[in-house]
Amino acid sequence: MSNFSNYIAGEWVAADDYIKNINPSDLSDVIGQYAQASSAQLDTALDAARQAQKVWAATGLEKRYNVLMSIGEEMKNRAAELGELLSREEGKPLAEGKGEIFRAGQFFTYYAAEVLRQMGDTADSVRDGIEIDVRREPVGVVAIISPWNFPTATATWKIAPALAYGNAVVWKPANLTPASAWALAEIFSRHDLPKGLFNLVMGGGSSVGQRLVESAGVDAISFTGSVDVGRGIAASAMANMTKVQMEMGSKNPLVVMDDADLDLAVSCAVGGAFGGTGQKCTASSRLIVHEKIHDAFVEKASAATKAMKVGHALTDGVQLGPVVSETQLNSNLAYMKLAKEEGCELVCGGDRLDMATEGYFMSPALFINGDNSMKINREEMFAPIACVIKVGSYDEALSVSNNTGFGLTSGIMTNSLARANHYRRNSRTGCVMINLPTAGTDYHVPFGGRGDSSYGPREQGSYAAEFYTQVKTSYISSGSPE
């Protein structure tokens, strides 16, 4: 069994402690053992990042462009290989794993181009003889804490802009998916970056992660994960007045109106709810359906849910792989029990499945007769579980849709331009989908939510500059030429 080290200050560094990375599709398949960084190693990474950032910020734009473009192209070219590794350790179907790696490469090629588009502003002062220059500068050392459900994509949409805008990175990935993190670090290790500009510090959230967010050596923290952890990070960051950007949970609604294309609505609902085994922050677990088409929708959605193929993530034709861990599976089954206790009616699914290999498999579950006060409709489950909530009007659908502490994505299925436009303007979420699944966003435009879903500046697109840079306004009095 191979051991995989952390990448710190431009070197691969062994550790005293390692964890096993196990394939959730086949528990007999151990992918490797991954180093757990010590406190001293984290401090070394932070010190190296501080020094390397100064060098990188002074590096010419053309070189920064070339490095990011090269990383992005390598990732796209290796999408099949690295996508298989990702699916093997996280459990998403192979097609999704390959797609995630390719998309991660696109983040780097996009931000490579952004390197060349960093423009400032000029203005005349209200005082005679003074000119004003406004430009963005790097924020400094960025701590990145990324989740396991999109172990490469989420990390890269943070790392790529951090580097594009001249920052250094100390990255703590999720301990459930270290193989994808190590593979990305290996790519970085072969590119012409200052030693210490990029650091991989694998380890537990309560140890390495907590020490990282408490460090005065960090200038900004970008986090994706749960609400509770996010609140703790914000509290720790405040002690040092550290800039924070957090993407957390959600409970996304998909409204299906009586004038919707029913087949399209079912496709969007089922794909949005169960894609990635429901382990997406953009998953549509609340299906808000107009009473006039409720029964027809449930009949078709039930048939589509039952037809989904569950199996080993690397098997051809599999639509749902396993959930990521035994802990996650037990949580999912507990929500199944809770939904029944709350009065929901199970239409189909929700069982742990025995497959050819031992893994954390369960069938996607569809409930009906739910209401918006139930915990399964209030809490993010991160599970292949969806609940239909029946409503009598568009106004009620909008009200139920907005009745949540979260606010990441929402969607409506309708052929009415008036309803679609009204919903777009009045849905209290960061992203709104019209006749599309709630899951699925582009990389060149901002992503983020409201309420408990997000805190701080938006991610992705040119809007990422708000987090990864700081603005400097300079006043210049040049005097008179002689």
Report the catalytic residues.
247, 281
Output the CA torsion 95→101→102→107 (10° steps).
140
In the numeric block, which tokens belong to residue 21? 């990375």
Residue 369 Rama label (left phi>0; alpha psi -120 to 50; beta): left
Question: Containing H/E element for 178?
Answer: helix 178-189
Residue 261: CB partners within 8 Å, gap ≥ 6? Answer: 413, 415, 435
Give me the residue label for tokens 């749960």: 226
Strand blocks (E) in 286-384: 286-290, 345-348, 365-368
Strand blocks (E) in 341-438: 345-348, 365-368, 385-391, 409-413, 431-434
> Cβ atoms within 10 A of the Cβ of 379, count?
16
- HSE-up of 145 (CA within 13 Å, CB side)? 29
C-alpha 52, offset from chain centre: 27
Return the ∠ at Cα 364 (arms to 360 and 370), rounded to 5°.
Answer: 130
Q: Which whole-number Å values give the CA distances from 470 to 99, 162, 415, in the listed order?
A: 33, 12, 44
Look up residue 187 and give its amino acid: I
Instruction: Answer yes or no: are the C-beta atoms of 443 and 157 closer than 8 Å.
Output: yes
In the numeric block, which tokens belong to residue 50? 């501080």
As a whole number of angstroms, the distance between CA 146 and CA 178 comes to 11
In the numeric block, which tokens belong to residue 310? 């569950």
Is 33 in a helix, a strand, or coil? strand
369 burial type by CB count under 10 A (0-12 exposed, 13-18 middle, 19+ buried): middle
Query: Nearest Cα to 158, choosing from 359, 458, 392, 360?
Result: 458
In the numeric block, which tokens belong to residue 47? 């010190």
Output the CA torsion 415→419→421→423 (10° steps).
-120
Instruction: Answer yes or no: are the C-beta atoms of 448 and 432 closer than 8 Å.
Output: no
Query: Nearest Cα to 168, choosing from 141, 189, 138, 201?
Result: 141
Instruction: Answer yes or no: are the C-beta atoms of 394 and 258 closer than 8 Å.
Output: no
Residue 45 Rama label (left phi>0; alpha psi -120 to 50; beta): alpha
